Amino acid sequence: MQFDRVVGSYRFIEAPRVDADGALYFTDLVGGGVHKRSAEGKMSQFLSARRWIGGLVFNHDGGFVCSGLGGLVHFNEATGITRPLLTAIDGKPIIAINDIYADDEGSIYGGTVDFASIEQGRAPATGVFFRLDPPNSLTILRSEVTVSNGIGLSPDRRRLYHSETSVGVWVYELDDRRGIRSRRLFAQFPDSDGLAVDVEGGVWVAALNSGKLIRFAPDGNARQEFELPMREAVSLTFAGTDMRDLYVAAGGDIHDSVQRRAAIYVGRSPVSGQINPKSKF
C-alpha cells in the first residue's frame, strides 16, 4: 500500500476523522487544539488552548465531542460554544481522556490516561475504560488500564476491541444489551496504539514504535503488515465514498517540544472500513 502525506509539520497528531463533506479533522496532542482541513484545502482551528486531545467523534448535531485535559467536551462548530460532558469519575477529577469511539446508540467509549506522568517521563497511574450513555450515564467496563488507546466494534456489534498500549488489544464479547459476556487478549502487541475495524471484521492496529499498520484477521491469528513513511504510528480512520481511503497519523514525539514532524498520510486500503457512528450528546 502506498501512502501520501496530506498534512504535516505538527508536534503530535492524533484522532484523524473525515466528515461527510470530505473535511479532515485532527488534533495536536501536545501542541493543542482541533484542526480542520476542508475538502478545498482551507485550514482552520478550534479549541486552540485545549491539550492532550487523543480522541474525537462527530456528534449528531453537526458538532463534535473530543477528549483531552480534564475529560470530554462537546463543541458546536456553528456557535463556538463548548460544554463539558464528563469531568470526573466517582467524584475524582479526570486527568485526561485519550481515544474515544461512538457506537450506534450514540454512546461514547473511552479511557482515562495519566498524560501528566507520561509527559514527565514517569510511569502513569492506571486508568479506567468506560462507556458514557446519553445524556450522562457512566458504566465502568474495566479498571487498572495502563494506557487506554484505540477502540472499535465488529461489524455485527458482538465484539468490542480496545487497545491497551504496553499490553495489546483486548476483545470484549457483548450481549444484546451491550453488556460484557467475557474479555480476553485478542493480540499480544506491546506497542499497540490506535485501531479501526473494517467491514470484514479485520482489526487494523497502529504500531507505535515500528511505523507499521498491522491488520489482524477476525480470529486474531493471520496478520498483514503495511509499512508507513514514518515511525510512531498512533491513529487511523477509514473514509471516502467507498470507505477505502485509510488515513494514518504518525511521526509525533510527546517528549520533544521543538520538532514539528508529525503528519497524516493516506493510502488506498484493499478492504473497506466501517462508517463511524456519531455520538448523541
pLDDT of 255 > 80? The answer is no
* pLDDT at residue 34, as a whole number: 98
Cβ-based neighbours of 262, under 8 Å, separated by 6 or more: 8, 9, 10, 11, 12, 13, 28, 232, 249, 250, 251, 252, 253
Domain extent at residue 121: 3-268
The pLDDT score that the predictor gives to residue 257 is: 63
Closest CA to 263 of 235, 239, 238: 235
Question: Per-residue pLDDT tens for 65-94?
Answer: 999 999 999 999 999 999 999 999 999 999
Lowest mean per-residue pLDDT among 50-59, 93-102, 221-230: 221-230
CA–CA dist 275, 264 (Å, integer): 19
**Structure confidence at residue 254 as a pLDDT band (50, 70, 90):** confident
CA distance 117 to 127: 12
- The pLDDT-based confidence of 270 (bands split at 50, 70, 90) is very high
Residue 258: its pLDDT value, please? 66
For residue 21, name the pLDDT band (cuts at 50, 70, 90): very high
Least confident interval from 29-38, 56-65, 105-114, 115-124: 115-124
**C-alpha triplet 115, 46, 196: angle, nearest 5°:** 60
Q: Which of 81, 62, 83 is nearest to 73 (CA)?
A: 83
Q: Is residue 115 exposed (0-12), middle (13-18) or buried (19+ Cβ within 10 Å)? A: buried
Residue 98: pLDDT band (50, 70, 90) is very high
Domain count, the chain: 1
**280 inside domain:** no
Q: Comparing 25-39, 66-80, 106-120, 244-258, which segment has the lowest mean pLDDT?
A: 244-258
Check residue 218 and give its pLDDT. 95
Residues 173 and 180: beta-carbon distance below 8 Å: yes
Confirm if 76 and 91 have CB atoms less than 8 A apart: no
CA 136 to chain centre: 21
Provide the whole-model pTM: 0.96
* Residue at 278 is within a domain: no
Helix, strand, coil % (nearest 5) of the chain? Answer: 0, 55, 45
- Cα separation, 87 vs 55, in Å, equals 15
Domain with residue 74: its CATH number is: 2.120.10.30
Average pLDDT over every residue of 37-52: 97
Query: Which string of DSSP letters, residue by residue, matches 107-169?
Result: -EEEEE--HHHHHTTSPPPPEEEEEEETTTEEEEEEEEESSEEEEEE-TTS-EEEEEETTTEE
pLDDT of residue 170: 98
194-246 pLDDT tens trace: 999 999 999 999 999 998 999 999 999 889 999 999 999 999 999 999 999 99
Q: Please give the single-letter amino acid code of residue 42.
A: K
Residue pair 162/170 in contact (Cβ under 8 Å)? The answer is yes
- Out of 39-48, 139-148, 256-265, pick the least confident: 256-265
Average pLDDT estimate for 30-48 = 97
Q: Is residue 117 part of a domain?
A: yes
Q: Which tens digit of pLDDT belongs to each residue from 114-153?
A: 998 988 889 999 999 999 999 999 999 999 999 999 999 9
Give the Cα separation of 279 and 281 in Å (integer): 6
Q: Has residue 279 been placed in a domain?
A: no
Report the chain's mean pLDDT, rounded to a whole number: 96
